[in-house]
Amino acid sequence: MSSTPPPSHGGGRGSDRELEEQLIAALSSARTNPAGLAERIEARAAHFQGQDYYPPHLGGKVCLPTKEGRSAVMEAVSFLRALRSALPPLKLPEGPAAAAALQLSAEDHLVDRAALGRVGHLGSDGSHAAERQSRYGRWSGKCGECLWFGRPGGTAAAIVEDLVIDDGVASRGHRHCVFDASYAVAAACVGAHPTFGAMAVIEFAASFEAEADAVAARRERGPPQPAFDAGAAGDMTQWSSTLGECAGCKQAIKGGAVVEVGLGKFHKLCFTCASCEATLVGIPYVTEARAPYCKACHVHLFAPLCSGCKTKIAGGGVTVGGVPFHRECKPAASRSGGGLAPACPAPKTAVARAPKSSPAGKTPAKAESGVARSAHSSRSKSPKKKAAVPGCGGSKNGSSSHEPAGQSMDCAYRGMQSLALDYGSLE
């Protein structure tokens, strides 16, 4: 994708012109070389775990849930290999005005769906694809439209593969649209979508001619304003009935980036610290009273205060007679055996430091963005006793015979092994 979006086609929004051109080229390549597309799609089959697809180019760390799993992939491969001949290529309509006109009809629908956070071919003004194409030109023979919703940063090739696999769509309408021999021209518009992250609108026609005056007027005024009071048409997605509500905002999860932890499912943007509201995606966190907290806030709000140095215990500690201490601050027995020596002097800095490793010498799992498989850390065995700190009542040879017994207290924060889920959709 382009690093800087070029100007809008018609004054309505920024768009990725390069990706849009690549998308038409990828659609054309699919029609002229179905065998090559079959090979690329078949390669996906090795990267499924059940119904979940882990794209190799994302390092296997991002999960794209599907409705049908590997079976839809292999069915698409069979379809492509059964085609007896290649189809004519797709291209933009002849002439810059015609290409712009068809793209403007796609942009109108993208702006409408993105503004409302909805899906579906019916616009908030009640328009269908044929009517939107007719705003700026004349289509003839046949016309159609494909909508793709998914993770930002997707390539044109991956979008076309998704359309041809057509997961979760019983009619395989997107696949048949791509391979409809009636279509000779197409135009696309790609942009952001609040639920899924990204959206592509692709308009198809057997032929298309522009109406120059209508195109000029549209460029001047911008796209039609979405009808925000148009009701809930297009509010349901492929995932609306299966994902439930966000544990953060309590709104329905319709798709897009989702984080799943022991507390439930969250919109990615809703998985934040209950205190400072900083994102918790990709960083260690801990739960308290069924709420997630970042390490700093949890230490500030809930960590015990060391009775020795008077700072919070952010790492492993001990209790002596029910009183919490950092391990290095634990008081030692007096040499006479008649009580406890004073605690170690307070450190020069009052900032509690997190341990370099989790208890029992185990290295914390690296935190990654997405679904945390576990939100709980277990208690560890008591660490090996250290030699007494000189000047704090311990024996010179490091023997622990003069130290009071202490019970290990685990306050360490572990990184959660995380995995991102992205629910896409086809309409």
Question: Residue 240: which of 371, 67, 73, 121 has the closest Cα?
Answer: 67
Q: 89-146, pLDDT tens digit by residue?
A: 999 999 889 999 999 999 999 999 999 888 899 999 999 999 999 999 999 999 999 9
Q: What does the pLDDT read at residue 94?
A: 92
Percentages helix, strand, coil for the chain, rounded to the nearest 5? 25, 20, 50
How far apart are the C-alpha atoms of 358 and 408, rounded to whole Å?
A: 13
* Residues 47/60, Cβ–Cβ less than 8 Å: yes
Please, what are the domains in the chain? Answer: 17-33+86-235 (3.40.33.10), 245-427 (2.10.110.10)
Q: In one letter, which amino acid is 298?
A: H
State how beta strands 256-261 and 420-423 pair. Answer: antiparallel
DSSP state of 150: E
How far apart are the C-alpha atoms of 254 and 120, rounded to whole Å?
A: 13
* Residues 420/370, Cβ–Cβ less than 8 Å: yes
The model's pTM = 0.67
Q: What does the pLDDT read at residue 241?
A: 65
DSSP state of 144: E
How far apart are the C-alpha atoms of 192 and 159, rounded to whole Å?
A: 15
Helix axes 156-165, 34-42, angle to 10 degrees: 90
Exposure class string for 248-284: b at 16+ Cβ within 10 A, else e: beeebbbbbbbbbbebebbbbebbbbbbeeebbbbbb
How far apart are the C-alpha atoms of 135 and 27, rounded to whole Å?
A: 25
Mean confidence (pLDDT) of the chain: 78
Q: 322-358, pLDDT tens digit by residue?
A: 899 998 888 875 554 445 554 444 444 333 333 333 3
How far apart, in Å, are the Cα atoms of 139 and each of 111, 112, 176, 224, 401?
22, 22, 19, 20, 93
Q: Which of 56-70, 92-106, 364-378 has the lowest mean pLDDT?
A: 364-378
Confidence class for position 284, pLDDT limits 50, 70, 90: confident
| DSSP per-residue codes, 58-69 | GTT-EEEE-SST
How far apart are the C-alpha atoms of 103 and 97, rounded to whole Å?
A: 10
| DSSP per-residue codes, 297-316 | HHHHHHSPBPTTT-SB--S-
Q: Which residue has the tokens 């026609």?
A: 205
Query: Which tokens belong to 59?
Result: 């390092």
Helix axes 156-165, 70-82, angle to 10 degrees: 90
Among 225-234, 311-320, 343-352, the range of highest mean pLDDT:
311-320
